[in-house]
Amino acid sequence: MSELERLAASVLCVGFDGAFAEHAPLRELAELGPGGVVLFARNAGDLVETRALVDAVCAAIEGEAGARPFVAVDQEGGRVARLRRGAHDVPPMMALGAADDPALAERVGLLVAGDLRSAGVTVDFAPVLDLALEARSAVVGTRAFGDDPQRVGALGAAFGRGLERGGVAATYKHFPGHGATAHDSHDLLPRLTAGADLLRSRDLVPFRIAVAAGARAIMVAYVVAAAFDDELPASLSPRVVAGVLRGELGFTGACFTDCLEMDALAGFGAARAAVRALQAGADCALISHSLERAREARDAIVAAVLAGDLPESRLREASARLAALRASHAAEPAPDDGAAAEAARRAITVVRSPSPRDYTLEAGEAVTVISFDAAAASGADDRASEEATLNLALRRRRVRSESLRVPAEPTPEMIEHLLAVVTAQRSRRVVLQAAGAVRFPEQRAALDALLGNVPDAIVALMREPFDAVVLPAARIVLCAYGANEVCVEALADVLTARASAHGRLPVALAS
């Protein structure tokens, strides 16, 4: 491999298959010599197994390339957490927004960093600084802290500070903001139509706060911010990366693209997009799935330098920024294991209820929990992750609970069956677990029908509080922000009066 090929490979971060060293493409990774690797659920065992895989991959690459790669992962909490077995279950960013305590957010970030360091991970593609501005957004939702730019910036900077204290580099994303569009860049290229003044006073504010707090890494989105560049996706736009991020915000750290294989860039192709991103001022091209595409990207970068289309100085600058990101930092131990559970409890929010008595379930009380499956909201979700069961959590608290699970989009026949069951069990309290009702009309129809039959049912929102807006008949509504275990246990504590609901809505709800 030539020196220029090594340099080109050093600005790539690549994904690969295999959860164990014997199944991983070690030879191909060593021959490519990327500057970093990224882990997904397909690579994750428990933390010890993941560490063994990481050490084998890093040793193979370091032996050939001469430098240990950084190891990245998307570990946000909630529905986007690639490492689960042996890792702390952490509520999503929006739950931290509802708890609204930067010191607590920092403790959770430090807790996450401890898990990542145990697995050998040195870069976290978190926290999300997008604003939750679009109720129908499947890609942002509970991944955002909320919709207030200053509060999101403060909480995001605190979470990132916790990661950095734990020896893991935080990567703030997705610049210049993905929250004002309902479209998922995993599937198509979204457009932000807001004017430049609005973007600067709203969407860019959390990133400006992060940069001022010393952000070392930022990930740029695949959205067209028309006010800055009406044609190119932000990751490939010199006006956005060099002009706004570097020039206006003064960011000097490492700039990552999102995955170059996402459908938002289908018209470019990964290799061509990698060159365009470097030309725009990005430092690392992320290719999450195909090592063949990664090799093509390396070769395209080399060809662009030789043709004079990409200055070698720009390539060396990008490589140097990633080398600085790889530099190790002393890691503090996590202060306690209870930060995640505390955050989840403090997040539980009463959206509507006459009094706490109306949503309190007594020991021995007969309850039917009807839960709608929280289908994967976007391409960022961990599709194989298991949801916790409120029914079992209530049983552990001595409530006589039974459960019915329903698809996120139930058929009319299923709705009819639910009504028949509820009608036949008039003596039982009913808890309805909504999950994305704002996006699923069939789920809304089922919930409306059930609320017409049981108006005093407790509605538990397991995703965003936006669901409350489309359920006006619900008189008792609480929001847990997540269906993972830590959120469900917190909700069960509140429903059985073992904890009080102190969360505040992190987003404005339409009247």
Residues catalogued as catalytic: 186, 258
Residue 175, strand partner residues: 220
Ramachandran bin of 264, using left for φ above 0, alpha for ψ from -120 to 50, beta for the remaining angles: alpha
Contact at 8 Å (CB) between 45 and 53? yes
Contact at 8 Å (CB) between 189 and 230? no
Distance between CA 322 and CA 490 in Å, rounded? 39
DSSP E strands, 3-160: 12-14, 36-39, 70-73, 75-77, 80-81, 123-124
Terminal-to-terminal C-alpha distance of the chain: 62
Residue 415: closest CA among 440, 449, 390, 439:
449
> How many CB atoms sit inside 10 A of residue 306's CB?
11
User: Residue 253 — φ and ψ, nearest 5°?
Assistant: -85, -160
Residue 62: closest CA among 34, 38, 40:
34
Whose tokens are 């704002």? That residue is 438
Find all residues with CB under 8 Å of 387, minimum gap 6, and list them: 373, 374, 483, 484, 488
Q: What angle do CA 505, 510, 511 make, to 5 degrees?
A: 105
Cα 417 to the chain's mean position, in Å? 35
